[in-house]
Structure 1
Amino acid sequence: MSTAPDSAARRTYSYLGPAGTFTEAALAQVAEARDQQWRSVRNVGEALADVVEGRSDAAMIAIENSIDGGVSTAQDALATMPGLQIVGEYLVPVNFVLVGRPGTTLADVSLVAAHPVAYAQCLHWLSAHLPAHAHLPAASNVAAALDMLDGSSNADAAIAPPGILEHHDLEPLAEAIGDNPNAVTRFVLVSRPGALPAPTGADKTSIIAELPDDHPGALLELLEQFSTRGINLSLIESRPIGDALGRYRFVIDADGHIENERMADALLGLRRFSPRVLFLGSYPRADRSIVHYPDRYADEVFVEARDWLRGLLAGEPAD
């Protein structure tokens, strides 16, 4: 049976490797992870299994991209692997460099290795600067470069994260080749369940919920649990449950913390409505943007309403 890492030893963090990935760049933002042990893994499932089975204290995974939307593999893993909690989120600007073996020039490039998602995000630049190139799909952005470097692939160049140049002897052929300079990937740090981060006023709550059945207005009823309490949703995406056609779960990010009265009330309403609600955590927003809401949804309004009802039940005179 797996055991949790020794608390006296250095903490272990799993991330999608090898060194030089965007996930590593996200983990570098975690102050408490510095000078700790970083465990490179091959996929999201392995990273989260490390946490569940006690090989790591936490794992950094990509959850959302500003261009491609939610990362379905991560969302599905969080929905189906019990014993996980999001404790923080981190944003990493996504841009790419074109790299080759030492001594390569741009004129030498005719075959470009790249992960399909990265390739699609650099296609305009490639079409403009290497119109006759061919694409060699790769398993990951870093693998594209390393396979080229060690001769495992015949590629002349590879699309890779800028951080790879800090770890490997590669020739930088072009920088900032991504077609969208505003592209950002959102990462979350996932641990085993424990004490929640304290509310900061700039928080986010993540949940996954299922509809009770398929009927007109069912999704609206789910969303009303939040809208009637003044809670904004920054993400809502559907993912198939997998047991039948037309059955979906909804991945939701809501502005606020579970210790906020309005959020707690919304989750209670959602629990009564949905056959399955998975609470993934409340944690500080990466952008530290304060959550604003109308005064009628302030905590003291909910507290006063409960006190009023308690008084009625106790037979106290109504105001």
Structure 2
Amino acid sequence: MSETYSYLGPSGTFTEAALAQVPEAEGKDWRSVNNVGEALDDVVSGRSVAAMIAIENSIEGGVTATLDALANIPGLRIIGEYLVRVQFVLVARPGTTLDEVRVVNAHPVAYAQTRKWLDANVPTHGHIPSTSNVAAALALFENDLADAAIAPPQIVQHHALEVLAENIADNANAVTRFVLVSKSAAVPAPTGADKTSIIAELPEDRAGALLELLEQFSTRGVNLSLLQSRPIGDALGRYRFVIDADGHITDERVADALLGVRRFSPHILFLGSYPRADKAPVQYTARYDDGVFLEARQWLAALIAGEPEA
């Protein structure tokens, strides 16, 4: 039986472009799904060995549907991350010209990221929200309510659409971060350019609680690249925090920080340690080298054993 990978479809999405970066997925079956919940259910049920899902956007921040799903579905691990540059094109049915565009189909996020271009180039346009970037384009074939759509550039590789304008995103540096999620409990080996993701709850709603959580990392020289709060849902003021820490769980400084969080937090969920998409080596000062932690542990062991101090 062939291995299957799930992704938010249909063909032509940014998620598919992220999955195309996974060497292990090449030549395997790819299953198009409608939402994050369906993608993760494929993994939990065993229909797929892994699922590619969006977790963070450089403009919009964390993807709340993904963060909440990871917090509430046990047994999932992030095994890799991938970056896709967010580019948009304005597409239309063949024969349509830009000056004929009056109404535009667009996913609300895509619309927000191209609004300045649309206001400058199609100043009197109307907007019809769509459920996805690809759905916005495909709706042009289903009805004539809109004249054009905001879509990913790769859409024209799959559907007979005409590009009216390219590179219409207001921020040319926008990037979406995707993660590959599986049920594998095995942690990938450290590379020196790694990231560790956890979800932790505060013990109580009081002044200084969040600071105490963050101090578990700062006092060990561990930098955080993502800190996103999400409501737990059981009461007002109760939050869990999605945290991305620079480093691998086998790094002494990261391991020690996680032990501190484990002692502090009533509930901590380890999402995985995995290679960074940008392959940038993790930077930290020498006083947080593995050897420093190991020497301190040996010093304590010697004191407990009653050995004379050197």
TM-score for the superposition, normalised by structure 1: 0.96
Alignment equivalent of 1:157, drawn from 148, 153, 172 = 148
Q: Distance in 1 between matches of 2:215 and 2:120?
A: 48
Query: In the comparison of the two structures, how many residue pairs are matched?
Result: 310
Structure 2 unaligned segments of length 5 or more: list them: none
User: 1:274 is matched with which residue?
Assistant: 265
User: 1:6 is matched with which residue?
Assistant: none
User: 1:22 is matched with which residue?
Assistant: 14
Work out whether 1:316 is the aligned partner of 2:307: yes
Matched letter for residue 283 of structure 1: Y
Deviation sequence 1:78-124 (CA, Å, 0-9, x none):
00000100000000000100000111111111010001110010001
User: 1:244 is matched with which residue?
Assistant: 235
SS at match of 1:176: coil
Q: Distance in 1 between matches of 2:266 and 2:216?
A: 14
User: 2:28 is matched with which residue?
Assistant: 36
Deviation sequence 1:170-196 (CA, Å, 0-9, x none):
011110110000000000000003211
Work out whether 1:146 is the aligned partner of 2:174: no
Superposition deviation, residue 299 in structure 1: 0.5
Work out whether 1:124 is the aligned partner of 2:125: no
Work out whether 1:134 is the aligned partner of 2:126: yes
User: 2:51 is matched with which residue?
Assistant: 59
Q: Distance in 2 between matches of 1:295 and 1:204?
A: 19
Matched letter for residue 142 of structure 1: V
Work out whether 1:106 is the aligned partner of 2:92: no
Alignment equivalent of 1:216, drawn from 196, 201, 207 = 207
Superposition deviation, residue 150 in structure 1: 2.9
Q: Distance in 1 between matches of 2:7 and 2:26?
A: 14
Q: Distance in 2 between matches of 1:260 and 1:274?
A: 21
TM-score for the superposition, normalised by structure 2: 0.99
Q: Distance in 1 between matches of 2:154 and 2:66?
A: 23
Superposition deviation, residue 242 in structure 1: 0.4
Structure 1 unaligned segments of length 5 or more: list them: 1-8
Alignment equivalent of 2:194, drawn from 186, 197, 203 = 203
Q: Distance in 2 between matches of 1:147 and 1:256?
A: 44
Q: Distance in 2 between matches of 1:37 and 1:84?
A: 21
Q: Distance in 2 between matches of 1:133 and 1:105?
A: 14
User: 1:4 is matched with which residue?
Assistant: none
Percent identity (aligned)? 72
Q: Distance in 2 between matches of 1:130 and 1:110?
A: 7
Write out the 4+ residue segments of structure 1 that deviate beyond 6 Å after TM superposition.
Answer: none
Work out whether 1:190 is the aligned partner of 2:196: no
RMSD over aligned Cα atoms: 0.7
User: 2:250 is matched with which residue?
Assistant: 259
Matched letter for residue 196 of structure 2: T
SS at match of 2:306: coil
SS at match of 2:171: coil
Matched letter for residue 229 of structure 1: R
Superposition deviation, residue 76 in structure 1: 0.2
User: 1:180 is matched with which residue?
Assistant: 171
